[in-house]
Amino acid sequence: MNLRKHLILFFVTFIAWLVYYLLGLPFNYFLDWSVVERILISLVTAFSVLPFIALFTLLFLGDDYFKTSIWFALYASVLVFILDFIVVGIIEGYGIQFVTSHWVQTLGYFYVWISIPLVGFAMKKIIDVKKIS
């Protein structure tokens, strides 16, 4: 993958994190929500928003969808963890304990390793079937 594609994945991941963070800001990054509400936002993010973002990003980047989806999952887990650690852990003072206090975000670091590669795998299979036909 070339540098341009890496920068696109970085940018998309950063913008998605920023939007999610800003949406959660009035609610203390979702800590003010009940457990049921946090589970709901977690599920909506994992099974609708994240695959939607992955689909359009992978379509835009083209090439080997599955390989690109693995890179995207890496960015979406490691970069988002680093951003959360900087903002929530250091600036807001939670330290590394933010992984338990902000468990919805922590689940997100793992969701991306399921949903994004699934989207990439499905897209690869669709393209392979079209090539055969």
Listing DSSP states for the chain in one string gives: --HHHHHHHHHHHHHHHHHHHHHHGGGTTTTTS-HHHHHHHHHHIIIIIHHHHHHHHHHHH-S-HHHHHHHHHHIIIIIHHHHHIIIIIIISS-GGGHHHHTHHHHHHHHHHHHHHHHHHHHHHHHHHHHHH-
Query: Residue 108's closest CA among 31, 32, 49?
Result: 49
Q: What is the pLDDT of residue 58?
A: 87
For the entire predicted model, the pTM comes to 0.88
Model pLDDT, residue 1: 83
Q: Which residues of the chain have pLDDT under 50?
A: none
pLDDT of amino acid 128: 84
Residue 36's pLDDT is what?
A: 96
pLDDT of the residue at 129? 85
Q: What pLDDT, on the 0 to 100 scale, is given for residue 62?
A: 81
CA 31/CA 97 separation, integer angstroms: 14
